[in-house]
Structure 1
Amino acid sequence: MQALIEAAKAPDYPAEIVGVLSNRAAAPGLALAASQGIATASLAQSKFPSRDMFEDIMTQTLESWDVDIVCLAGFMRILGEDFVNRWAGRMINIHPSLLPLYRGLHTHERALADGAKVHGCTVHFVTPGLDEGAAILQAEVPVLPGDTPDTLSARVLVEEHRIYPEALRMLASGEIAPL
């Protein structure tokens, strides 16, 4: 999220970060966004009787900010089909693997356990299937001898910060079409 906020400060960047929504009130990104004058909201899913009600309030919040594109960044919840379809072609996510490899969690550990020589990250469209949406951009990172999940994660994170703003630029400028 910080990389997206920084990229959007450029006068020629085609997207503006209009709000940051988190499902965790203590998320550091909320304080960062607020310090930059960006609207923030926190919604704990546990406070709602159903996922549908939670996602309805998320949609209302996003619509109140006149959001065109939703960028997930550390939002560690599986979103319902209705919510995903509401934002179809306009919701993207960053995932720490070269999708379709290693969908879900613990990607670095799984890549190392498999003896992968190359790992990386993918910015993709969000669809109802977990990490199944079409890739927008990918970046490769070599797996080095002696890598641990932490060292590999650190190198992948550098690439995540590089390609996520680029993918948002591509979508917001119309260089790529929404799905």
Structure 2
Amino acid sequence: MNKVKVAIFASGTGSNFEAIIEQAIENQLACDVAILVCDKPGAKVIDIANEYDIPTFVFDPKNIPKKEYEQKVVKRLLLMNVEWIFLAGYMRIIGPTLLNAYEIKIVNIHPSMLPAFPGKDAVGQAFQAKVKITGVTIHYVDAGIDTGPIIAQESVEIFPDDTKEVLQKRIQQVEHKLYPRIINQLIKQSLKVEVTD
């Protein structure tokens, strides 16, 4: 049976990207990572994709209007039969072109207990606010910034002697387990829905 094809969108170091790929390779996931979409030429995540022989679609948003690059991305994904998009540290707001093409099939992971600390540097925001609990949220993507319906959350305690870096590592450890598990659940549920229709 052919596995569902997914695209990962990432902008940075690619730690979640690598965690997802490793589980896919070990047949722990009901999907194959078909392509990496990256908006930062030179990002470390591209090197990881190359190591695993995963095709990449890299663009520099400074050189191309948003609607145009999203149209190119959609065209490429549809040609590859990509059914789901998972954001893993992707630092751009998804526009209407992608949202319409992949309605309720775009999912993001965010390092806080949304709705607390949306947007950039959520770990830093939580650290500065001196809260005792933060965490990880997986949610559907809508037109807002980290405002889509929540799929899953897991809390992470902030200890008095934590540095931001230590807290970030602990959050990433949760992300690397939670995200692949939720990806698997979502894809298995969508397969069941298609079978019963």
Q: With the length of structure 2 as denominator, give the TM-score of the two structures.
A: 0.83
Higher percent of residues as strand: 2
Q: Does 1:16 align with 2:32?
A: yes
Partner Cα separation in structure 2 for residue 90 and residue 24 of structure 1: 23
Residue 175 of structure 1: how far off its partner (Å)? 6.8
Q: Which residue of 1 aligns with 2:118?
A: 103
Q: Which residue of 1 aligns with 2:93?
A: 78
Q: Which residue of 2 aligns with 1:35?
A: 51
Partner Cα separation in structure 1 for residue 27 and residue 170 of structure 2: 29
Task: Please say if residues 117 and 144 of structure 1, whose CA atoms lie closer than 8 Å, have aligned partners that are also in contact.
Answer: yes
Residue 25 of structure 1: how far off its partner (Å)? 1.9
Of the three residues 157, 161, 165, the one matched with 2:172 is 157
**Which amino acid in the other structure matches residue 7 of structure 1?**
Q
Q: Which residue of 2 aligns with 1:126?
A: 141
Distance 1:46-1:99 versus aligned 2 partners, 3 A rule: same
Cα shift readout 1:146-178 (whole Å, capped 9, x = no counterpart)? 222212111101111111101110111117999
Secondary structure at the residue paired with 1:129? coil
Secondary structure at the residue paired with 2:62? helix
Consecutive unaligned residues in structure 1, runs of 5 or more: none
Quote the sequence identity (%).
28
Partner Cα separation in structure 2 for residue 122 and residue 177 of structure 1: 24
Secondary structure at the residue paired with 1:18? strand
Cα shift readout 1:7-63 (whole Å, capped 9, x = no counterpart)? 111335211111111111212222212221221121111121x21111111111222
Consecutive unaligned residues in structure 2, runs of 5 or more: 1-16
**Which amino acid in the other structure matches residue 177 of structure 2?**
R
Partner Cα separation in structure 2 for residue 135 and residue 175 of structure 1: 17
Partner Cα separation in structure 1 for residue 44 and residue 127 of structure 2: 29
Distance 1:175-1:87 versus aligned 2 partners, 3 A rule: closer
Secondary structure at the residue paired with 1:122? strand
How many residues are treated as equivalent by the alignment? 177
Partner Cα separation in structure 2 for residue 151 and residue 12 of structure 1: 28
